[in-house]
Structure formats: C-alpha cells, structure tokens
Amino acid sequence: MAHPQGELATSMAASQTNTLMICSTLSTTKLEDVAQASSINANLWFQLYVYRDRRITENLVSRAIASGYRALVLTVDAPMMGRRRADERNGFELPGHLKMENFDVELLARTFKGKEGASGFGEYVKNMFDLTLNWDDLRWLVEYSKIPVIVKGIVRGCDAIKALEAGARGIVVSNHGGRQIESTVSTIEALSEVVEAVNGRCPVFVDGGIRSGSDIFKCIALGADTVFIGRPIIYGLSVGGVEGVKHVIQILRTEFEYAMRLSGISSIYQLRTVPRMVVHQNYYSSSKL
C-alpha cells in the first residue's frame, strides 16, 4: 500500500544496510519472495499470530523455517484487533490489486470483506484470531518451532517472566504501535520494568514511538538490546522505495552516533553500564532539591 515494490523493497533495503527485518504475517508479498529478495546472509525474522485454525500457524512456521527465517516473533497483544476509528469510518480494506499473500485465496474470500461501519480488515481478523489464546499456545509454538520464538507485545514484568518460563528467547516490549489497547503505558515507560524482571535471562527489545537517534539511545540506556522501528520504515518506503528505507535507517544511525559521541559514550557496553546516562525528568525534581 506504501509502494509498488512493497516488502521486496523493504527487504532489499534491509539487506543492503545489514539491518534485521521482522517480516509481518500480514505481508502483501509471500514470505518466500521476501526471503528471496534478501541477501544470502540477511537477518530475517517472521512475525506471526497463533490462529484459531492451528494448521494455518503450522503452515506459516514450516514455510518460514524452510525459507531461512532465523526466529519467530509471536504477537501476543492482539487476541482481537483494536478499534481504529478511521478504519471503521473508511470501511478500510486492502486495495483491490493487493492480497495478504501469505494466505490462500479461498480463505481470504471467505472472511475478508469491507462493510459499512466496520473495517473489512477487522472482519477478516475477527474470524482468524483466537480469543482463547493463552500461555499453553506459546508453549505449543515453542515446542513446534525449530527456531527461537520471541514474544512481542509485553508491558508487564510478570508477563515477561511467564514468557521466559514458557520458553521464549526474547521479549519485544510493545503496545502494537498504540493500535491495540488504548490508554496503556508507553513502551519507553514500560521498558525498565520488563528489563528488571527479565534480569538478563534473554534479550529485551522495544518498539513504538522511536523517531530519532536519541530515542534509540534512551532505549538502549534503559536496558533494551535492540530497538525496532515501524512507521518510519513505511514512510521511507512511501517516499522513496528501497532508497527511502535505506535513507531512514541511515538517518537514525547517524543521529544515534551523534547521541553517543555528544554524550561521551563510545560503546554499547558503556551506554548500558555507565550509571544514569538517561533518567526520567523527575530525577531533577525530587524532594531533596
């Protein structure tokens, strides 16, 4: 929807900059083709949901592994899709020439149809997603998958611990770009609690709201291992396809380097170990001042 080359462009840009890319299940390009467009040593992870019909999930997992994806990213903050009012008003559905290429046509015809007052995408999702999704399903996926499973959509420390105990190998602190539960905590606020709960037992990632190198700096300083960006990539894609995405990545990397240098930090290790490189502003207004 952003650019005619879609995920192929994103994948190429990622390969050319050696950037990890998490490919979405709801891709307008088949996961095999995305892998194909990447370089041979590209870092590709595959994001998925556990569907009501387990065979759909099994099919996606097998295909992802066969295509060389190195990890799965299970989204856990979407037992149902959040309410996006604009989508409802617009009766949003994928433009006619596009398809959710990871699924077969028959399935799509059955469930995806724009309706007045509700978004067509929402209807599709309502039928595919699983309101009963629980920790057993994560354990099942960890068991079934030969590649590591990372859990995306956690903001509570206790949930991070549960994910670890269920076999997850990484946590993405996320609130789905603010598209799911409304009025929840921001990911930068939630990050510290999860980092503390995980206590080094697995990598902790974060997404949501990162728009500059200093945002990345803050996330790493507060304990994240890697930061993911969502909308900025879409914007880069819209504006300039492969080059647009590469440019967005380069801007953020450059800004991040500036942030490091101008903060007297020369390594990620220092950034994560020098005390109080980043503090909440309340640090400056506590009662002793």
Partner 1 sequence: MSGGGGKGIESLKSYISVADFEARAIDLLPKAVRDYYQSGADDESTVARNKSAFRKYLIRPRVLVDVQNLDTKVKISFNPRESYTFEYPLGIAPTAFHRMAHPQGELATSMAASQTNTLMICSTLSTTKLEDVAQAASINAYLWFQLYVYRDRRITENLVSRAIASGYQALVLTVDAPMMGRRRADERNGFELPGHLKMENFDVELLARTFKGKEGASGFGEYVKNMFDLTLNWDDLRWLVEYSKIPVIVKGIVRGCDAIKALEAGARGIIVSNHGGRQIESTVSTIEALPEVVEAVNGRCSVFVDGGIRSGSDIFKCIALGADMVFIGRPIIYGLSVGGVEGVKHVIQILRTEFEYAMRLSGISSIHQLRTVPRMVVHQNYYSSSKL
Backbone Cα Rg of the chain: 19
91 binds partner 1 (CB under 8 A): no
Catalytic site includes residue 176? yes
Q: For residues 166 and 230, what is the distance between their CA atoms, to the nearest angstrom? A: 27
The two structure tokens encoding residue 247 = 């440019």
Residues 6+ apart with CB under 8 A from 251: 213
Nearest to 156 by CA among 173, 169, 142: 173
CB of 262 to partner 1, least distance (A): 22
Q: Which range in 8-16, 65-73, 197-205, 274-282 contacts partner 1 by CB under 8 A? A: 274-282
Contact letters for partner 1, residues 17-56 (x by CB under 8 A):
----------------------------------------
Closest to partner 1 by CB, 30 or 162 = 162
Instruction: Name which of residues 150 to 179 contact partner 1 (CB under 8 A).
Output: 151, 153-156, 159, 162, 175
Nearest to 199 by CA among 144, 247, 160: 160
Catalytic residue among 3, 97, 176, 280: 176
289 binds partner 1 (CB under 8 A): no
The two structure tokens encoding residue 167 = 């076999």
Residues 122/94, Cβ–Cβ less than 8 Å: no
192 binds partner 1 (CB under 8 A): yes
Closest to partner 1 by CB, 39 or 90 = 90
Please give the positions annotated as active site: 176
